[in-house]
Structure 1
Amino acid sequence: MAKAKFYYDSDTLSYQPIGKNKKKIFRNTILYILAVILIGLLGFAAFSTILKSPSERSTLRELNNLKFNYELLEKRMTESTAILEEIQQRDNNVYRVIFEAKPISEEERSAGFGGVNRYKNLEGFKNSDLITEATQKMDILAKRLVVQSKSLDEIVKLAKNKAEMLASIPAIQPVANKDLKRMASGYGMRIHPIYKTRRMHWGMDFSAPQGSNIYATGDGVIKSAKKSRKGFGNHIVIDHGFGYETTYAHMNKFFVRRGQKVKRGDLIGLVGSTGSSTAPHLHYEVKKGNQKMNPVYFYHNDLTPEEYETMLILSSQENQSLD
């Protein structure tokens, strides 16, 4: 039992018992309760941080493992992208050059990844940046792999057709050296024989006696064979495939018909001076795709280095053409 406490009252000259202050007791009680609650909350927070439930620990391990795997995946995709870029460089600068195929542009390889936000559903998470970046790299890598796979399929097809392609590319002179008088005019700006003005001459003029043989410069199919008193006069066009066409103009006569297949070196007609021609000669043109090419680059099969050098010099002279 607690001892009673007294105080000395000077008015009554006696000891009086000390009474309890209810307000003070109430305040102390409230403070005690608040202190207990605060200590409990701090203890629970510390306890829950140190000692997580089995489910929480499992979830945390999965999240950490997922983050690690994403980082590892991103690293591997970066390495794969570097390897793919090297293959793409060889594809454009080696394989496609060998087979004269058009290089694939960067726009074609990376098409389909602009505009709308494809990864909006990945936003709002703790590791959204990491997941979005990895997903984006994966999509781009997959797209580039598809494009590269199709490109290699095309290269394989070109390789299988290499023999046919080499036989089809125009590679000889259309008029034999023994029949040539001279190289009358080459590819480039030349003086027109009738209008006496400088105009683009899109082919080469081979001056030869009337009736000299004209040969197909590569395998192909006769695309057209026309007789005319204007322009090219009697002329034929051969479709060699692989984007190549050759034109033989101002012929005296031709021995082929439309749709007929010819081989390199086949006799297709005779030198003449029909159409807008001022002297017997063959006007010869080479076209690749929609672009007319300088024919002088296509005589590598029947000329020695010395003869080819002479051909280059003669064809580059800015003289008057014959048509």
Structure 2
Amino acid sequence: MAKVKYYYDSEKLAFKRIIPKKRKKLGMALLFLLSAALFGFLCFFILANTSFFETPKSKLQARELETMKLNYKLLTNKVQLMDEALTAIEDRDNNLYRVYFNSSPINEEERRAGLGGVNRYKDLEGFNNSDLIINSSKKVDEIMKALAIQSNSLDDITKLAKQKEKLLAAIPAIQPVKNEDLRQMASGFGYRSDPFTKIRKFHKGMDFSAKTGTPIYATGDGIVRKADASLSGYGNHIEITHGYGYMTLYAHLSKYKVRAGQRVKRGDIIGYVGSTGRSEAPHLHYEVHKNGEVVNPLNFYYGSISAKEYVLLAKLANQENQSLD
């Protein structure tokens, strides 16, 4: 039963009953219902964001979401490790491999340039984590491009290495006559006394004194260009082109063991010591040419003699004596 309320009427000196208006009652009822609705919505919102009313499906989705976040974090770490490993390879490529093979390094802008053109990541926009996904995709694409550039660079290095092997094999790096077969190193490179005119003139090679028939060896890989007596004063001689600007000449031979056009390897016997042409005694006159200019053969004997033997040979070669041709 509702309470009855009164008020005191001072004019009539009596208490009178308060009769509430219907409109006010309706307003109060609506206010109560609105408050109850707001309170209920608030309680629902709070409960909905707790695990109290989670369904099995929502729990499964939550676990899947956490697993995806963990996998994404692991993937990001792997991408970072890949990038660090690639950076190390790029550094070795520029500062070791390319330096060794005298090749220009690849600049950083070329290696890590972005992928231009149309928006490649438009399909990834509009999601909750779009920025994160797009940045990761860009990083992966950048690494893929850098890997392609590095792969091409390593192909170039492989080619340079093969060329380096050919170069090292082509350089005339041994004595043309073995030490045990030598009587003496008769004359070196430079100004010497001519054995016939006694006039001081430039001697273009080195003379190795040995008995007739002593084997003569190719000092580097190459192709026999000549095996004849076409050069005046050289008698029977052989010219070998080695590539990379190198050519060697072997003169005063008693006989040949190769012919023009034949390919030879370092250490192959190409002929035998003699005294043909303008020669005072059996010996081998040996020359090394680089880019059309004669150079001192003494600088190329690192492949067949010891340091002690080299010092002795250099001492003998530098004596300004008489040549044998």
TM-score, normalisation: structure 1: 0.54
* Higher gyration radius (CA): 2
Tell me, in whole angstroms, the C-alpha distance in 1 between the residues paired with 2:317 and 2:134: 63
Which has the higher mean CA deviation after the structures are superposed, 105-114 or 55-64? 105-114
Q: 1:72 to 1:89 in 2, by over 3 A?
A: same
1:184 to 175, 190, 196: 190
**Residue matched to 1:72:** 74
Q: CA deviation at 1:181?
A: 0.5
Compared CA separation, residues 18 and 101, structure 1 to 2 (3 A): same
Deviation at 1:308, TM superposition (A): 1.9
Select which of 252, 260, 263 maps to 1:261: 263
Task: Give me the CA root mean square deviation.
Answer: 5.9
SS of 1:170's partner is: coil
Deviations 1:217-241 (A, max 9, x none): 1233347899799xxxx9945246x
User: Does 1:107 pair with 2:111?
Assistant: no
Give me the whole-angstrom Cα distance separating, in 1, the residues matched to 2:80 and 2:297: 46
Aligned to 1:284: 288
Alignment of 1:1-323 (within 5 A): 1-21=1-21, 24-25=24-25, 27-50=27-50, 51-76=53-78, 78=80, 102=101, 107=106, 113-116=112-115, 120=121, 122=124, 125-126=128-129, 128-129=131-132, 132-133=135-136, 136=139, 140=143, 144=147, 147=151, 154=158, 170-174=172-176, 178=184, 180-184=186-190, 205-208=204-207, 215-222=217-224, 236=239, 238-239=241-242, 246-248=246-248, 259-265=261-267, 266-267=269-270, 283-285=287-289, 298-309=300-311
Equivalent-residue separation in structure 1 for 2:300 and 2:138 (angstroms): 50
Describe the SS at the equivalent of 1:2. coil
> What is the deviation of 1:32?
2.7
Structure 2 CA distance for partners of 1:39 and 1:116, relative to 1, 3 Å: same
Matched position secondary structure for 2:205: strand
Residue-by-residue CA offset, 1:66-85 (whole Å, 9 max, x unaligned): 22123223444555666777
Query: How big is the shift at 1:305?
Result: 1.5
Q: Report deviation, 1:166.
A: 7.8
- 1:105–1:149: structure 2 CA closer, same or farther, 3 Å change rule? closer
Judged with a 3 Å threshold, the aligned counterparts in structure 2 of structure 1 residues 66 and 296 are, in CA distance, closer, same or farther, namely farther
TM-score w.r.t. length of structure 2? 0.54
- Inter-CA distance 208–41: structure 2 relative to 1 (3 Å threshold): same
Q: Is the 8 A contact 2:185 2:316 kept in 1?
A: no
Ranges in structure 1 where 5+ consecutive residues have no aligned partner: 186-192, 195-203, 274-279, 288-292, 317-323
Residue type of the alignment partner of 1:16: K
User: 2: distance between equivalents of 1:311 and 1:68?
Assistant: 72
- Consecutive unaligned residues in structure 2, runs of 5 or more: 192-199, 278-283, 319-325
User: The residue matched to 1:44 in structure 2 has which SS?
Assistant: helix
| 1:294-319 Cα deviation digits (max 9, x unpaired) | 96564233323123235668999xxx
Between the aligned residues of both structures, percent identity stands at 27
Q: Measured at CA, do residues 109 and 7 of structure 1 come closer, stay the same or move farther in structure 2, by a change above 3 Å?
A: closer
